[in-house]
Structure 1
């Protein structure tokens, strides 16, 4: 008697083919977009090119962490088609500039061939589903870019406010020194009043900077970016909790302590119905 297939393996393989085909296209498009963005930045200024290169280096580092999991057999035992597709997308996106991506891509090809009998280079997923998957990925990228742009505007505003706050702190410090050392009593009194005014201004500017930097939009962009990199919900929540703890502009950490310091008046479970095909029964 011939056992009839329950359709699970066929469905899994079909999803895998779609995920791999779409991932290859998306990864290559992202790589071209990154190269074009770098060319545009270089045409604008060296400073903008350096800043973009720094962001690219950070993205490459984060992608390496994700790609590294394809070298763990236990990851493959639980991987869903979308997980494999995401790893393949990253490998294709960075293969032209990162040897680790080349290694990951080869490992993906070997595992997919050995476990599922699928050739990554000729996966040939259903064209309509592949087109839909590519469109979703590109829409997600656009949304993430818009969120990052809004977050960047907030961060720039906060940085400007914090810079002004530091200047007010410095002015307060100078006024306090004058209040201690001016021989004229009237000038000492005026200097003390000026110091209090500058301190109030600095506190107000820091207060205004906090929500501009630590905004809902920035957190949304951060969470969306993490999820887009394949980070799980629990890990995203953990990262956001940590982000709350450090949700202050960088200049807050460098604020001079003298402004406030008292003086001596002198931050899958296992896939249900996982198809165990660690070696195809041929």
Structure 2
């Protein structure tokens, strides 16, 4: 393995800096959204309607901006600025929109695997991230990062909002193009163009358009009708996380705020919410997937996610969450601490990670982090363990999740 030519260090430093600034912008945007919601609550009916329409449009634009992060092709070509923009948007909306929460987790995993950077540092420990930037960036970049003021952050936030407006306009054009292809189905079901922003409805419409047999057409039409009913109840973007949190807390014992930080749990809660609405409205599902079965599957997944989150919290509290990959990596690091940073050491470190089952992306990310931070990973792991704190929570089987009164109406 050859020594780095400096490009990895430059990309890593630039991305860390972008993520830190993105975190600050996300906080600003989140505060603006919260203020908008407060104004909506106290405004007159017309003003509240306008505020809600604006919030819905902004949420749709955020979803459109985050859609590409689920595609591997996007990550293969994404530049640090693209990643930072997506990160900023996801962080600003993740406590409100289930899709943004899922995107935030996807971004965290990809950035960690590809670049060796944990985006949680940017969101919760800016001082630690700035220290990392100082180690990774050039002198001029470091001085520029430290000199950024609140005014510059506001300017960056304004630029971000302008970019989001452009994305929203582009999204509308994409919906119109899609509607042109689906015109027969759009007319048959009386679907407004903007409804195609719901990805599940768009998929159902595409299936209906491609259906060749009467049975296939009937099945697709049934799904379209379900999605249209749910849009009528929850809007194009579906229920927000606050709504799901309230409903789930009322019907499921042991569901806490920490569970709504897990995208899988939020998705299961959303599926329970939707199947319950459909059942109460008289939808029966299909022979292969009757509504009651769909509800029970969603409920089972929700309880499984509750137990999983509980175990993760318990592991963090007890310090028993180290994986085989981490153990193997730390052994390799401690064995060669004296020559840390050399080409020979990095080669051995990469071999040890591959032997522990790490993917190519994980190996690359760990090596980039090792080269840029200039600190032996064992010291970094020690500092992280000392700084990590977790909320106390019951976990596993002890969570006591039980089906409550708000189950599926039959």
What TM-score comes out, normalization by structure 2 length?
Answer: 0.35
Return the structure number with greater relative CO, CA threshold 8 A, min gap 6: 1
The structure number with the bigger radius of gyration is: 1
TM-score, scaled relative to structure 1: 0.50
